[in-house]
Amino acid sequence: MNKKLGWFAIGCMVAGLLMLIGAVIAFLSGEAFNSVMLLAVIGAMFFLIGFVPAVSKYRANKKRDELLRSGRAVEAKIENVNMNMMYSSSGRNPYIITCRWSDALNPDEVYQFRSENIWYDPKSMLTKDTMTVYLDQKNPKRYYMDIRFLPETVNG
């Protein structure tokens, strides 16, 4: 849902880069090799802690935008809205919407779709029994469930 990169990820990347720059400066100044390597390793770890989520978010946004632009829109029937027990953050579990759809040309093949994580119970905001899902024309297992109508957060 959210296109923005979190401040935590940005902060980690900046801190990591500053530590790596500090390691280079220390190395050029003739500091002890062990101290320089320690600073470089810690800096690289901080940078990667921020960089990996940034790349993941970028790829997810790129996939979503591509599917919204050129994917095949289908209406998938909502099966349920459940908590995603496989993931938690700060002791909370997000919700996911699960839908099913079968192509009229091939009704024996049923596809199941899951939304991205939603950090509140969206049941009261679902006004119909279907969700729009954008499918890759060549690979229907590559999809984006359109939940843009849901707000980022709900107060209360």
Answer whether residue 22 shows pLDDT above 80. yes
- pLDDT, mean of residues 2-19: 80
Which SS3 state, helix, strand or coil, does residue 109 take? strand
Q: Which amino acid is at 80?
A: N
Q: 97-113, pLDDT tens digit by residue? A: 999 999 888 888 999 99
Confidence category of residue 2, pLDDT binned at 50, 70, 90: low
> Looking at residues 26-45, what average pLDDT do you find?
88
Delimit the domains of the chain by residue range. 7-68, 72-145
Return d(Cα 75, Cα 79) in angstroms, integer: 12
pLDDT of 89 = 83
